[in-house]
Chain A
Amino acid sequence: GAGVSQTPSNKVTEKGKYVELRCDPISGHTALYWYRQSLGQGPEFLIYFQGTGAADDSGLPNDRFFAVRPEGSVSTLKIQRTERGDSAVYLCASSLSDSLRGEQFFGPGTRLTVL
């Protein structure tokens, strides 16, 4: 694919359920980022992968949130015991550069709604 893709585009779940959000970065991009964007706010950093490893996960709000990137390409953001406050658009971005000095290409996002 030409750009970053995310699935599903929309996810509605009930409080307490487990969800997985998937991100397919641009081929060859070693850096991958997850952000959360609430209505009227800027993207809020969650976690940054360089290759397979999480270089910085300081933005994950609590231990219900976890992300993996086992082969250095596709990444999955996992949320356990979802809460209504988790409702937001979850954005993934990838970057060719291995430093934070290059363009980040965003995916279309997954809109998560927790009822």
Chain B
Amino acid sequence: GENVEQHPSTLSVQEGDSAVIKCTYSDSASNYFPWYKQELGKRPQLIIDIRSNVGEKKDQRIAVTLNKTAKHFSLHITETQPEDSAVYFCAEPGTYKYIFGTGTRLKVLA
């Protein structure tokens, strides 16, 4: 069945360090992988996405990598800042619906 595993569930890093969050998906036919950021009490917002025809996409301090063979995709945040503190969700488009991961609570320590 459709399932997205996300790790870790919580992550604390020092300001300036890097953070990596990983998701594993189940449907080998999936070809689009978004990452959403949700600050406390706010709505989820798309921060980066990747399509299956590329292995990596970068946008300033944020990057996403995709390993189709292993069915993994990861979010990389470099030079973390306090405003990066939030919950991050990966998602996989299933048949007519999005399956979200369980979320990673990232805390950037000043």
Contacts and interface: CB of A to CB of B under 8 A. Distances in A.
B96 A56 contact: yes
Given A43-B89, A107-B43, A100 B96 contact: yes
Contact of B96 (A35, A44, A55, A107): A55
Given A101-B51, A104-B46, A58 B93 contact: no
A76 B45 CA distance: 22
A103 B97 contact: no
A35 B99 CA distance: 10
A91 B102 CA distance: 16
Name the residue among B43, B93, B102 with the largest chain A CB count within 10 angstroms. B43
Q: In the complex, which range does the number of interface residues on chain B fall in?
A: 20 to 34
Contacts, number: 56
A4 to B, nearest CB: 8
Contact of B43 (A55, A59, A91): A91
Contacts of A43: 44, 89, 98, 100
Give the top 10 A-B pairs by smallest Cβ distance, nearest first: A56-B96, A42-B100, A100-B93, A106-B43, A101-B32, A45-B97, A103-B46, A43-B100, A42-B89, A106-B44
Interface of A: 33, 35, 40-45, 48, 55-56, 58-59, 91, 100-109
Given A43-B44, A48-B97, A100-B97, 18 more contacts: A33-B98, A42-B102, A43-B100, A44-B100, A45-B98, A55-B96, A56-B95, A100-B32, A100-B93, A100-B98, A101-B32, A101-B51, A103-B34, A104-B34, A104-B46, A106-B44, A108-B43, A109-B43
Interface of B: 6, 31-32, 34, 42-46, 49, 51, 89, 93-103
